[in-house]
Amino acid sequence: MITAVNDLKILLTDEQIQTRIKSLADEINNDYKGEEIVLICVLKGAVMFAVDLSKHLNMPLKMEFIKLSSYGNGMTSSGKVQSFGAHLEEINGKNVLIVEDIIDTGLTAEFLINYIKETYNPKTLKFCSLLNKKETRKSSVEPDYYGFEIGNKFVVGYGLDDEGYNRNLNYIGYKEI
Ligand code: 5GP
């Protein structure tokens, strides 16, 4: 097993991530042919993914950034959404693609989807996650697009943090427990 910084084992290399992002973008380009989209990046974890994905998207596109300011216990309805430097009203009537780092229990995705649907009036709404932990799902929500299915590991890197650190890694790693 290759060991990276801080005793991390590499789960997905930079090359694997970038290759998969390119093929995901091809799929998304194909699905939204002739359409405009608003890509909503969920801070902070999805920032690397959203930026790299957006570089391969070829439709007219606007990017917005939102942050869940509080999760409470269990990341449910106590979550509040802050939007940064953006007018989310612009998403009314638009094709909206939420871009997340990882879907684990699915409760964050469920909250965000319901929030956007109830607060705005998007033409369409889809959810794209780089990583998908299927084993730990507690919600019926599934992503419309995802990059990789992974097991029940705590992963870091490429936007995902470990107590704030390691978001800057260009690969995704995990700690052997
Ligand atoms: P969910 O609501 O689907 O359980 O969790 C989604 C959020 O939990 C993600 O946006 C991410 O912030 C965090 N999360 C879930 N699994 C992991 C993981 O393996 N590593 C890191 N760094 N964050 C995770």
User: What is the Å distance from ligand 1's center to 144 Cα?
Assistant: 18
Strands 95-103 and 37-43: parallel
pLDDT at 77: 45
Cα–Cα distances in Å, from 142 out to 85, 109, 146, 164?
Answer: 29, 8, 9, 27
Q: Report residue 149 as tokens.
A: 């299915």
> Which residues form the pocket of ligand 1, taking CB atoms under 6 Å from any ligand atom?
45, 75, 100-109, 154-156, 160-161
CATH code, 14-151: 3.40.50.2020
Task: Give dist(CA 99, CA 89) in Å, integer.
Answer: 18
Instruction: Output the CA 121–ligand 1 centroid distance in Å.
Output: 27
Mutate to test the pocket of ligand 1, among 102, 111, 148 (most ligand atoms within 8 A of CB): 102
**Is 100 within 8 Å of 46 (Cβ atoms)?**
yes
| DSSP symbol at 160 | B
Q: How far is the CA of 103 from the centre of ligand 1 (A)?
A: 6
What lies within 8 Å, CB to CB, of 166 at 6+ separation is 5, 6, 8, 156, 157, 160, 173
Indicate which atom in ligand 1 lies nearest the CA of residue 154. Answer: 19
CB of 14 closer than 8 Å to CB of 8: no
Instruction: Collapse the DSSP code of 53 into the 3-class scheme (helix H, G, I; strand E, B; otherwise coil) and give the result.
Output: helix
Q: Where are the domains of the chain?
A: 14-151
d(CA 136, CA 21): 23
Measured between alpha carbons, how far is 47 from 65 in angstroms, rounded to an integer?
Answer: 9
Distance CA 175, CA 114 (A): 33
Tens-place pLDDT, residues 6-53: 689 999 999 999 999 999 999 999 999 999 999 999 999 999 999 999
Please choose, from the candidates 128, 125, 105, the residue with its C-alpha nearest in 3D space to the C-alpha of residue 49: 128
Helix, strand, coil percent content, the chain, rounded in steps of 5: 25, 35, 40
From 160, 171, 176, mutation site for ligand 1 pocket: most ligand atoms within 8 A of C-beta: 160
Least confident of 29-33, 135-139, 146-150: 135-139
Mean pLDDT over the full length of the chain: 89
Q: What is the pLDDT of residues 111-136, one digit of tens each?
A: 999 989 988 999 999 999 999 999 99
The pLDDT of residue 93 is above 90:
yes
Mean pLDDT of 59-83: 70
